[in-house]
Amino acid sequence: MSGSKRPLRVAIVGGGPAGIYAADALMKSVSDTDVSIDLFERMPAPFGLIRYGVAPDHPRIKGIITALHSVLDKPQVRLFGNVDYGVDVTLDDLRTFYDAVIFATGADTDRAPALPGIDLNGSYGAADFVSWYDGHPDVPRDWSLEAEKIAVLGVGNVALDVARILAKTADELLPTEIPPNVYHGLKANKAVEVHVFGRRGPAQAKFTPMELRELDHSPTIEVIVDPEDIDYDAGSEIARRQSKQVDMVANTLEQWAIRDIGDRPHRLFLHFFESPVEILGTDGKVVGLRTERTRLDGTGNVERTGVFKEWHVQAVYRAVGYLSQSIPELPFDDRAGVVPNEGGRVLLEHEAAETARHLPGVYVTGWIKRGPIGLIGHTKGDANETVACLLDDRENLSGATDPDPSSVVEFLRSKSISFTTWQGWYRLDAHERALGELEGRERVKVVERADMLHVGLGRR
């Protein structure tokens, strides 16, 4: 692109926080007239896991959308929603219209633990349940909530979200944006006990302090911690001294362990030092969970004790991490669940960074780059690093053969793709807020993809 006077044309695949932060980093790194960015999102609406991965009773986290809005409002950015990379467009297509492509496709499936019984009826991945209660258009509208006693595997924020939604009443959640099918499903929920299991101790839990404390805010949930589960070794004490958050989590758990148990109707147990070893079943259905007791080994890790216990539950939710899916035409590390990269530059081979070759003009950012770890804000650092690499490569990019912004629109229309735009999001946003106003709520989320398209495209 040496000597080129036109704006740098960049396609970003993925309209969630990672992709939008990358757009923001690009605009902050060059002059206003020096970059032109198009975001491609397979959903009809933007914002990714902020819209479809955050519990509905966490409106403050959804407030991040306000900041993301300001980025998408910029004239240098266009949104093409309802466009599925690998189906509607290919890498060659994007290379025709853009000088560089950044993939920010995130992670939205479950990392499944190697447990016997994982395929039993009543064994669920947390990501599927989250998609259901968040009104994702591509998942079933119904969810079985027949179990009275439930196990949740994992000690991260997603595990707490799942446990809290299962333990709360539907009426507690009604003021949120949950769609009607989710409200009616939760209204029929029979759960009275939810058990959350972690294989290590309180100092190793991955909850954030605020998320943990919120469990106790519900008037219908009695949070219970066994005093026997409050234990620390030298490694745990070091972790507490080095991290205020770890110490705050441990302090909260200690306080809950020594208090009297109240009489709220739903009980939520937080178990530590219990490592799940098998999901038990009868006639193909979950009937229990077997765990092995663990103990600290001095370093903050745990060792087995050979002491087993069976818990009578009728459903098991696995919240042990998200997993990214491979991207067509890009290399993929199945074990790590990421696209091999060096600072965001996609590597052609699984070799040491100093010997591997880069895929020219192709970059990654967010969870597809580093794995599904960290909070949403961590993706800003990813975006800055990736964008810095892209701009360092700018003079050596081969360049788009058809960089005219109108050519992309003509291409999508020639394929009869019903794509939504940023203006379409404003229409959908106004429609959902109007639905909420009728019920005295801030918003009621539209679930059906066809309905989202009708509204977003201005057809009604």
Provide the whole-model pTM.
Answer: 0.93
**Each residue of 285-332: pLDDT tens digit?**
999 999 999 999 999 999 999 999 999 999 999 998 888 899 999 999
pLDDT of residue 374: 66
CA angle (83 as vertex; 81, 84 as ends), nearest 5: 135
Cα 236 to Cα 274, 301, 376, distances in angstroms:
17, 9, 26
Q: Check whether 86 has a pLDDT greater than 60.
A: yes
Q: What is the mean pLDDT of residues 328-338?
A: 91
Question: How far is residue 195's CA from residue 148's CA, in Å, rounded to a whole number?
Answer: 11
Q: Check whether 15 has a pLDDT greater than 70.
A: yes
CB 200 within 8 Å of CB 249? no
Residue 105 Cα to chain centre, angstroms: 11
43 pLDDT band (50/70/90 cuts)?
Answer: very high
193 pLDDT band (50/70/90 cuts)?
Answer: very high
Q: Check whether 72 has a pLDDT greater than 70.
A: yes
pLDDT of residue 3: 46
Q: What is the mean pLDDT of residues 227-251?
A: 97
Question: How far is residue 79's CA from residue 12's CA, in Å, rounded to a whole number?
Answer: 10
CB 403 within 8 Å of CB 99? yes
Q: Check whether 353 has a pLDDT greater than 60.
A: no
Question: How far is residue 141's CA from residue 146's CA, in Å, rounded to a whole number?
Answer: 16
| Domains and their CATH numbers in the chain | 8-107+324-419 (3.40.50.720), 109-322 (3.50.50.60)
φ and ψ at 222, to 5 degrees?
Answer: -95, 110
Q: Check whether 239 has a pLDDT greater than 90.
A: yes
Question: How far is residue 346's CA from residue 212's CA, in Å, rounded to a whole number?
Answer: 37
CB 198 within 8 Å of CB 205? yes
